[in-house]
Amino acid sequence: MHYLKYIVKVEFIFKSKSSVLKNISGFTAIAEESATVLILGSMPSEASLKKQQYYGHERNAFWPIILSLFASQSAHQILNYNKLKQLLIKNNIAVWDVLQSCYRHGSLDTAIKMDSIKTNDFYQFFSTHTAIKKVCFNGAKAETIYKKYVFPTISEQFSSLNYCRLPSTSPAHARMTLHQKTAIWEKQIKDYNNH
């Protein structure tokens, strides 16, 4: 009897863990051939996956920063997701994630199961988006994964690319204010594109 209870308990724990550790896949890139800057995240959050939109969490600072840098004040209230994507394209910005797929519990980067990751095909991407000169990482995790798993495979072919890490727009990264983050993003992205 005790043995059966043990089996049931183990099965319950296994099912519970299986139900929260999900195999997730990212989105296709927002990118035109005219893009000069690529912004890379790690993997869309649960809120983004549910909405099927990049940076879909209501407290993520990505879109407020982009609007602050590139949209007129009157446009802030009327832009829907398709228009937000067009705003990026108009300003020669591409958006993608380092990971194509992974297992993850919840939305935090720290919950990504690293032995499950599959990176996107950056050789193909940079081969078809030859105007890109700068790659900006939205947070430390994207940079860490890229430098370990992607950079060694493309460094010789695309040696002219410039890299920088931006402060994460995730609501979990609360050490900096929106104003502080925006100032850094402006210097690294908007000012770069204006050169």
Active-site residue, selected from the candidate residues 23, 60, 80, 162: 60
Active site (annotated) includes residue 60: yes
Residue among 161, 165, 157 nearest 123 (CA):
157
CB atoms within 10 A of CB 154: 17
- pLDDT of the residue at 109: 64
For 117-137, write each residue's pLDDT tens digit.
899 999 999 999 999 999 999
**Sheet with 37-41, edge to edge strand ranges:** 93-97, 37-41, 134-138, 162-166
Residue with tokens 């939205």: 138
CB atoms within 10 A of CB 23: 10
Mean pLDDT, consecutive 10-residue stretches, the chain (195 aa), reads 46 44 89 97 90 93 93 67 94 96 75 84 97 96 95 95 96 87 93 68
- pLDDT of the residue at 62: 96
- pLDDT of the residue at 76: 56
- pLDDT of the residue at 190: 81
For residues 91 and 180, what is the distance between their CA atoms, to the nearest angstrom? 22
- pLDDT of the residue at 77: 62
Under a CB-based contact definition with an 8 Å cutoff, are residues 108 and 141 in contact? Answer: no
Residue with tokens 């890109």: 132
CATH number of 23-193: 3.40.470.10
For residues 153 and 131, what is the distance between their CA atoms, to the nearest angstrom? 20
Under a CB-based contact definition with an 8 Å cutoff, are residues 145 and 99 in contact? Answer: yes
Question: How many Cα atoms within 13 Å fall on the side-chain side of residue 47?
Answer: 9
